Structure 1
Amino acid sequence: MLPGSSFLLVLWLLVSSSHVIHSQNDEDNEFLENSSRLLNPDPNFPALDCPKDCRCTQEGVVDCGGIDLKEFPMNVPELTNHLSLQNNQLEEISPEELARLYRLETLNLQNNRLTSKGLPEESFEHLENLNYLYLANNKLTVAPKFLPNTLISADFAANYLTKIYGLTFGQKPNLRSVYLHNNKLSDAGLPDNMFNGSNNVEILIMSSNFLKYVPKNLPPALYKLHLKNNKLEKIPKGAFSELSGLRELYLQNNYLTNEGMDNETFWKLSSLEYLDLSSNNLSQIPSGLPRKIVLLHLEKNAIKTIARDVLPQIKNLEYLLLHNNKLKARGIHPAAFQGLKKLHTVHLYNNMLERIPSGLPRRVKTLMLLHNQISEINRNDFANTYFLEELNLSYNKLTSPQIHREAFRKLRLLKSLDLSGNNLHTVPFGFPKNLQILKLKENEISSIPKGTLAGMTKLRELFLSHNKLKLTPCRLPLLSQLLDMAGNQLIYIPPGLPASLEYLYLQNNKITTVSERAFESTPNIKGIYLRFNKIAVGSLKESIFRSLKHLQVLDIEGNLEFSNTSKNKDNSEEEEEEEEE
Structure 2
Amino acid sequence: MQHRALGRSPWTGHRSPRAPALEPRIPLINIDDSVMGVFDSLVGLGEHESTYSVLPGKKGQCTANGMIMFDKAVWSPKPCVTCLCSKGEVICDTTMCPPLKCPQTITPAGECCPVCSETASSLDSSITSLDDISELSGDSPDPKDLDTTSVLPSARTQVEKDELLPTEVIDIRDKEGHRKGEKKRKRKGKKNRQRHKGRRREKLPVPRTGAARDVQYESDEDDGAFRIPSHFPIPVPPIEAPPLPSGCSTTDTTVSCINAKLTQIPPISDPDLTSLDLTGNSITTISDEAFNGIPNLEWIDLSKNNITSPGIGPKAFKILKKLKRLYLDGNMLVLIPSELPSTLEEIKINDNQLHAIDEDGLKDLKNLVTLELEGNKLSEANVSPLAFYPLKSLCYLRLGRNKFRIIPQGLPATLEELYLEHNQIEEVSEICFNHTRNINIIGLKHNKLEEHRIAPLAWINQENLESIDLSYNKLYHVPSYLPKSLLHLVLIGNQIERIPGYVFGHMRPGLEYLYLSFNKLTDDGIDSVSFFGAYHSLRELFLDHNELKAVPFGIDEMRKLRFLRLNNNKISNLSLTSIPRNIPPDTRMIDLQNNKIKEVKENDLRGLTSLYALALNNNKIYKIHPKAFEPTKRLRRLYLSHNQLTEIPTNLPRTLAELRIHANKVKKIPKDVFKGMKSLHVLEMSANPLNNDGIEPGAFEGVNIYHIRIAEAKLTSIPKDLPSSLLELHLDDNKITGIELEDFNRYKDLQRLGLGNNKIKEVENGSFANIPSIREIHLEKNKLKKVPPGLPELKYLQVVFLHSNHIAKLGVNDFCPTGRRKKKALYSGISLFNNPVKYWEYEDYDFEDEYGGESDHQVPYYFNPNTQAEVPHFPFPVECAKECFCPPAFPLSMYCDHRKLKTIPNIPSHVQQLYLQNNNIEAVPAGPFTNVTFVREINLSYNNIKFHMIDHGVFAKLSNLVQLHLQHNELEEFPFPLPSSLERLLLGFNKISRLPGNALQGLPNMTTLDLCNNLLDDSVFEEKPFSNMKNLMQLNLCNNKLQTMPPDLPPSLRHLSLENNSISHIPENYFNRLPQIIAIRMSHNNLQNIPQNTFNLPNLLELNLGHNKLKQVFYIPRSLQHLYIEDNEIEKEFQEAEDNQETLNQETEEDHEAEDSYFHPYYH
Which of the five TM-score ranges fits, normalised by the shorter chain?
Answer: 0.7 to 0.9
The one-letter amino acid paired with 1:317 is L
- Mapped to 1, the partners of 2:763 and 2:563 lie a distance apart of 56
Mapped to 2, the partners of 1:308 and 1:202 lie a distance apart of: 35
1:44 maps to 2:195: yes
Shift in alpha-carbon separation, 1:86–1:554, aligned structure 2, 3 A: closer
Alignment of 1:564 onto 2:738: yes
Question: Residue type of the partner of 1:44?
Answer: R
Please give the residue correspondences for 1:420-435 in structure 2 after superposition, counting only pairs within 5 Å: 420=593, 422=594, 427=597, 433-434=605-606
Give the greater-gyration-radius structure (CA).
2
Alignment of 1:208-227 (within 5 A): 208-227=401-420
**Is 2:480 the partner of 1:287?**
yes
Aligned counterpart, 2:638:
462
Aligned length: 497
**Paired amino acid for 1:258:** E
Q: Distance in 2 between matches of 1:569 and 1:97?
A: 74
1:177 equivalent to 2:355? Answer no
Structure 1 length as normaliser, TM-score? 0.73
The 1:177–1:45 alpha-carbon spacing in structure 2 relative to 1, beyond 3 Å, is: farther
Give the one of 520, 528, 531 matched to 1:337: 531
Aligned letter for 1:211? F
Find the aligned partners of 1:135 and 1:235 in 2 and give their Cα distance.
Answer: 30
Amino acid at match of 1:165: D
Q: Secondary structure at the match of 2:683?
A: strand
CA displacement at 1:66 relative to structure 2: 3.4
Aligned with residue 506 of structure 1, among 668, 682, 685: 685
* Distance of aligned partners of 1:40 and 1:512 in 2 relative to their CA distance in 1, 3 Å threshold: farther
For residues 2-23 of structure 1, give each alpha carbon's deviation from its aligned partner in whole angstroms, at most 9, with x where no partner exists: xxxxxxxxxxxxxxxxxxxxxx
Pair 1:276–1:93, CA change in 2 (3 A) = same
Farther-moved stretch of structure 1 (49-58 vs 276-285): 49-58
Match of 2:621 in 1: 448
2:262 pairs with one of 59, 63, 69: 69
2:562 alignment partner in structure 1: 365
Q: Which has the higher contact order (CA 8 A, sep 6+)?
A: 1
> 2:541 corresponds to which residue?
346
Is residue 674–residue 703 contact of structure 2 (8 Å, CA) maintained in 1? no
For 1:158 and 1:489, the matched residues in 2 are separated by: 59
Q: Which amino acid aligns with 2:449?
A: L
Separation (CA, whole Å) in 2 of partners of 1:189 and 1:343: 42
Output one character per residue of 1:299-325: Cα deviation in whole Å (capped at 9) or x when no partner: 111222223322242525332211111
Provide the C-alpha distance between the structure 1 equivalents of 2:481 and 2:572, rounded to a whole number of angstroms: 35
**Helix, strand or coil at the partner of 2:738:** helix
From 155, 162, 168, the equivalent of 2:361 is 168
- Paired amino acid for 1:364: L
Change (3 A) 1:143 1:439: same
State the partner residue of 1:385.
none
Shift of 1:452: 9.6
Say which of 230, 254, 261 aligns to 2:447: 254
The 3 A distance-change label for structure 1 pair 349 and 102 is same
- Distance in 1 (alpha carbons) for counterparts of 2:651 and 2:409: 63
TM superposition shift of 1:52 = 3.1
Residue 325 (str. 1) matches residue 519 (str. 2) = yes
Query: Structure 1 residue 412: deviation in Å?
Result: 5.0
Partner of 1:418: 591
Contact 2:422 2:445 survives alignment (8 Å): yes
Contact map agreement 2:671 2:698 (CA 8 A) in 1 = no
Secondary structure, aligned partner of 2:571: coil
Listed one character per residue, the Cα deviations across residues 357-404 of structure 1 (whole Å, up to 9, x for unaligned) are 111122212211000011353xxxxxxxxxxxxxxxxxxxxxxxxx15
CA shift for structure 1 position 353? 0.8
State the AA in 2 paired with 1:534.
K
Whole-angstrom distance in 1 between the partners of 2:590 and 2:418 = 38
User: 1-side partners of 2:470 and 2:272: how far apart?
Assistant: 48
Identity %: 25
In the superposition, relative to structure 1, how do residues 452 and 192 fare at CA in structure 2: closer, same or farther (>3 Å)? farther
Contact preservation (8 Å) 2:429, 2:455: no
Cα deviation for residue 114 of structure 1 reads 0.6
Letter in 2 for 1:507: S
How far is 1:159 from its partner?
Answer: 1.0
Give the SS at the match of 2:371: strand
TM-score, normalising length from structure 2? Answer: 0.39
1:112 corresponding residue in structure 2: 305
The farther-off stretch of 430-439 and 508-517 is 430-439
Instruction: Select which of 356, 372, 386 maps to 2:551.
Output: 356
Deviation at 1:218, TM superposition (A): 0.8
Contact persistence 1:49–1:77 (CA under 8 A):
no
Contact 1:161 1:183 in 2 (8 A): yes
- Residue 476 of structure 1 contacts residue 497 of structure 1 at CA under 8 Å; is this kept in 2? yes
Q: Secondary structure at the match of 1:187?
A: coil
RMSD (Å) for aligned C-alpha atoms: 4.0
**Using the alignment, how far apart are the partners of 1:242 and 1:306 within structure 2?**
30
1:500/1:522 contact within 8 Å kept: no
User: Which shows bigger deviation, 558-567 or 105-114?
Assistant: 558-567
- 1:393-542 to 2 correspondences below 5 Å: 403-405=575-577, 408-409=580-581, 411-413=583-585, 415-420=588-593, 422=594, 427=597, 433-434=605-606, 436=611, 437-441=613-617, 443=618, 447-450=620-623, 455=628, 457-458=630-631, 460=635, 461-465=637-641, 467=642, 471-472=645-646, 479=653, 481=656, 482-486=658-662, 490-493=666-669, 497=673, 502=680, 503-507=682-686, 509-515=688-694, 517=696, 526=705, 529-532=708-711, 533-537=713-717, 540=719, 542=721
Cα drift, residue 76 of structure 1:
4.1
Asked if 2 retains the 8 angstrom alpha-carbon contact of 1:42 and 1:57, the reply is: no
Q: Does structure 1 retain, via aligned residues, the 8 Å contact 2:669–2:696? A: no
CA distance in 1: counterparts of 2:427 and 2:383, whole angstroms: 16
The answer to whether structure 1 residue 191 and structure 2 residue 384 are counterparts is: yes
After alignment, is 268-277 or 346-355 more displaced? Answer: 268-277
- Distance, in Å, in 1 between the alignment partners of 2:261 and 2:524 is 64
Aligned to 2:123: none
Distance change in 2, residues 1:474/1:506 (3 Å): closer
Q: Any gaps of 5 or more consecutive residues in structure 2?
A: 1-189, 201-239, 741-759, 767-784, 790-1164
Greater shift in the superposed pair: 192-201 or 137-146: 137-146
- Closer/same/farther in 2, CA of residues 498 and 415 from structure 1, 3 Å limit: farther
Equivalent position to 1:276, from 459, 469, 472: 469
Give me the whole-angstrom Cα distance separating, in 1, the residues matched to 2:546 and 2:439: 31
Question: Measured at CA, do residues 314 and 323 of structure 1 come closer, stay the same or move farther in structure 2, by a change above 3 Å?
Answer: farther
Structure 1 residues 470 and 207 mapped into 2: Cα distance closer, same or farther (>3 Å)? same
Q: 1:278 to 1:327 in 2, by over 3 A?
A: same
TM alignment of 1:85-164, pairs within 5 A: 85-98=278-291, 103-125=296-318, 127-164=320-357
In 1: Cα distance, 2:293 partner to 2:692 partner = 85
> Is contact 2:717–2:738 with CA below 8 Å preserved after alignment?
no
Structure 2 counterpart of 1:25: none
Report the CA distance between 1:236 and its aligned residue.
Answer: 2.1
Q: How big is the shift at 1:279? A: 1.2
Amino acid at match of 1:512: N
Tell me, in whole angstroms, the C-alpha distance in 2 between the residues paired with 1:525 and 1:123.
63
Q: Distance in 2 between matches of 1:40 and 1:184?
A: 47
Q: Closer, same or farther in 2 for the Cα pair 1:232/1:490, shift >3 Å?
A: same
Q: Which amino acid aligns with 1:296?
A: L
User: What amino acid is aligned across from residue 590 of structure 2 in structure 1?
Assistant: L
Asked whether the 8 Å contact 2:670–2:696 carries over to 1, the reply is no
Deviation at 1:97, TM superposition (A): 3.8
Cα drift, residue 326 of structure 1: 1.3
Q: 1:354 to 1:144 in 2, by over 3 A?
A: same
Is contact 1:41–1:55 with CA below 8 Å preserved after alignment?
A: no
Counterpart residue type for residue 52 of structure 1: L
